[in-house]
Structure 1
Amino acid sequence: MAPPPQGLHPPASRRSDPGARRRGGRLRRALLAGLVAGAVAVPVAGAARPGAVPAPAPATAQQPRSATPAALDARYAATREDVLAAGRVAERAGHHRRAGSLRAMAAPDRRFLSFDGRDGGRTVEVFGDLARATRVAVLVPGSDTDLDTYARLLAGATRLRAALGDRTVVLAWLGYRTPATLSAEVLTAGRAAEGARALRGFVRTLRRLRPDAGIALLCHSYGSVVCGRAAPGLEVTDIVLFGSAGVGADSVAALRTRATVWAGRASGDWVAAVPHTRIVLPFATLGFGTDPVAPEFGARPFAAGDGGHSDYLKEGTISLVNLAAIASGRAPAEAGGHA
């Protein structure tokens, strides 16, 4: 999605004026409608998803039964075979880029709890020792994440793991078909509903495997909508929203969770300019409501620095430091304010 127009938030002197608030509401709705029209109608080079890449059904379909080192090693070996099988099918079909990516994913030092190469791909990759972990950080990615763009999620997960202690493991969870950034779907919760069902099932499995571990969901961009939909009653310790335009709920209380909810946004993130509203239409509800970093939402703030929308897990950033702290069960180094 192209960066939305800047300057959508009125100055403090106008916020107490009811007329200004009404005009601001109309402006936000108009801008949101414009975003939808642009996402649907404006052709952008390279924006479309690539054609479907054929892949076999995974042989390793059932969830792992235990988190002992031997059981996990057997699991990783089985999913490696699934990755290699998908790579062979992609190669035969002429999708050489995908086949190359899958060969890299099948390297001996890569470990996957699950893998399915169909429909853009579903994977759960493990960074760290899941058998010994006392804390688990689950990275939930946003739009335009699939097997062909997986390198971005891999890089972020690798940096996060490097910033953590030995007893915290990172799981890169690509468990749903993410929307394209340049699409109307990214402004609705349709894909998030699918993702939330999958995330809830995964957390139940993870809780069974590691019943005593603290679990933090680290939810970026559209991934925060997935986490918001999955949140009610979910057995996790923390839900961290970063680079979020909203979660489909107007407050932390509306999420119906006992987890601590955190929110941070970098000052250079264009998502701050997305209108924080919801419009109910006959075919869909557009927008995700209250800004997660606004005081009225009720999340605990953390400093996220001055980077852009894709910079939260970059090396040397305060956002990476604070995300690692929260994932480890510690307070963030800087509480931060509201961008």
Structure 2
Amino acid sequence: MGRGAAARWRRRWPGARRGASALLIAGALVVPLSAAARPGTPAPAPAALAAPTAATLERTYAAHRANAAEASRMAAGHGDRRRAAVDRALAAPSRHLLAFDGRGAGLATEVLGDLARADRVAVLVPGADTGLDSYGRFHDAALALHRRLAADAPDGVRTAVVAWLGYETPGTVSAAVATTGRADEAAPALRALVGTLRGVTRPGTPIALLCHSYGSVVCGRAAPGLDVGDIVLLGSPGTGADTAAGLGGRARVWAARSSGDWTRHVPHTRAALFGATVGFGADPVSPGFGARVFDAGHGGHGDYFAPGSRSLAGLARITLGTFPEVPDA
């Protein structure tokens, strides 16, 4: 179907996208994926360490790099060259791993910048289809933000970015992506991460959570009692809450969606379907939700951290406390 035909179809059948989305969700719940999972690539258990402090941070990084190096050797021995390469890159001396687990889809928490001395910290929370095999894309987003913060920060203001792949993300085409199940499982881990950061950073250091796609559901479930100053919902399908105030907590809640983001077509409802609650409720960029909505430009769903983008500029300003202008509703 060409662009013109697709546009005419949307005008004539304005409810068709919602119906198609509902059918896709129902199909994901009823029909399991038929492809067999590939045999698991072996990896060592994560390094068992005490919670890091500013004084022990470098030892923490070194221990997790050593674990990633061992994971790379095991993956190579298993014939998984792609995973071996990812693990080997994470084991490089320049990488700062606050956590690493090479088992299964893999988990990693990486720091860019001097966390112990940072005046402001941003934490990236990823959405669906993010794992070690696709970690390069996530790292690129964190690196783009880190560079933008370094360029925009006032003189003397030090920043750090934490790329938190700390939960098993759902697949884009899966039952899990349509429910809060994975987010409910991930929320305690995100709260624990913030607690870990508080144990390393100086007292009162502002922390902003930048939550992309399904990651915004994770942030929404973790929000009550979370010790952060800002929560940013990017390309969000919803959070499970009807309003920003309903998330709980004291953080300022921001939301943005670029004009080319396909999530603008997601139905913002919740419904019981085959024994599960499907959907995440209110649209975070709608006036009724009550978030501070900022301009994210014209990119697509994966472009919020693109270098030079309007959305990246806004994220940097939120992290730095020089908030972007909020357009009138």
Q: TM-score, normalised by structure 1?
A: 0.86
Name the amino acid aligned to 2:54. Answer: A
Residue from 176, 179, 189 that aligns with 1:188: 179
Report the equivalent of 1:62. 50
Name the amino acid aligned to 1:227. Answer: C
Mapped to 2, the partners of 1:263 and 1:49 lie a distance apart of 36
Q: Which runs of 5+ in 1 are unaligned?
A: 11-22
Residue from 300, 303, 307 that aligns with 2:299: 307
Mapped to 2, the partners of 1:118 and 1:273 lie a distance apart of 35
Contact 2:120 2:207 in 1 (8 A): yes
Name the amino acid aligned to 1:54. Answer: P
Matched ranges for 1:91-240 at <5 A: 91-164=76-149, 165=153, 167-210=158-201, 211-240=203-232
Provide the secondary structure at the position in 1 that maps to 2:117: coil
Residue 205 of structure 1 and its aligned partner are, at CA, apart by 1.6
Provide the secondary structure at the position in 2 that maps to 1:131: helix
Q: Which runs of 5+ in 2 are unaligned?
A: 1-5
Residue 40 of structure 1 and its aligned partner are, at CA, apart by 5.3
Mapped to 1, the partners of 2:143 and 2:318 lie a distance apart of 17
Report the equivalent of 1:36. 25
Residue 125 of structure 1 and its aligned partner are, at CA, apart by 0.2
Residue 106 of structure 1 and its aligned partner are, at CA, apart by 1.1
Residue from 246, 260, 263 that aligns with 1:254: 246
The Cα RMSD (Å) is 2.7
Residue 8 of structure 1 and its aligned partner are, at CA, apart by 12
Residue 304 of structure 1 and its aligned partner are, at CA, apart by 0.2
Q: TM-score, normalised by structure 2?
A: 0.89
Identify if the C-alpha distance between structure 1 residues 8 and 227 changes in structure 2 by more than 3 Å, giving closer, same or farther.
farther
Runs of 4+ in 1 over 6 A off after TM superposition: 5-10, 41-45
Mapped to 2, the partners of 1:9 and 1:277 lie a distance apart of 20
Identify if the C-alpha distance between structure 1 residues 120 and 7 changes in structure 2 by more than 3 Å, giving closer, same or farther.
farther
Provide the secondary structure at the position in 2 that maps to 1:163: helix
Mapped to 1, the partners of 2:230 and 2:36 lie a distance apart of 34
Contact 1:28 1:277 in 2 (8 A): no
Name the amino acid aligned to 2:200. Answer: L
Name the amino acid aligned to 1:168. Answer: T
Identify if the C-alpha distance between structure 1 residues 327 and 51 changes in structure 2 by more than 3 Å, giving closer, same or farther.
farther
Provide the secondary structure at the position in 1 that maps to 2:133: coil
Residue 44 of structure 1 and its aligned partner are, at CA, apart by 9.3
Contact 2:26 2:273 in 1 (8 A): no
Name the amino acid aligned to 2:161. Answer: V
Identify if the C-alpha distance between structure 1 residues 259 and 275 changes in structure 2 by more than 3 Å, giving closer, same or farther.
same
Contact 1:40 1:182 in 2 (8 A): no
Contact 1:29 1:277 in 2 (8 A): no
Contact 2:259 2:297 in 1 (8 A): yes
Contact 2:17 2:265 in 1 (8 A): no
Report the equivalent of 1:53. 41
Contact 2:124 2:164 in 1 (8 A): yes
Identity of counterpart residues, as a percentage? 56
Contact 2:238 2:284 in 1 (8 A): yes
Mapped to 1, the partners of 2:184 and 2:228 lie a distance apart of 19
Asked if residue 263 in structure 1 is aligned to residue 250 in structure 2, the reply is no
Residue from 283, 294, 302 that aligns with 1:291: 283
Provide the secondary structure at the position in 1 that maps to 2:211: strand
Identify if the C-alpha distance between structure 1 residues 282 and 41 changes in structure 2 by more than 3 Å, giving closer, same or farther.
closer
Asked if residue 275 in structure 1 is aligned to residue 303 in structure 2, the reply is no
State the Cα deviation string for residues 116-158 of structure 1 (Å, max 9, x = none): 1112111110001111101110000000000000011100000
Identify if the C-alpha distance between structure 1 residues 137 and 91 changes in structure 2 by more than 3 Å, giving closer, same or farther.
same
State the Cα deviation string for residues 153-189 of structure 1 (Å, max 9, x = none): 1000000000113511000000000000011110001
Which moves more between the two structures, 134-143 or 29-38?
A: 29-38
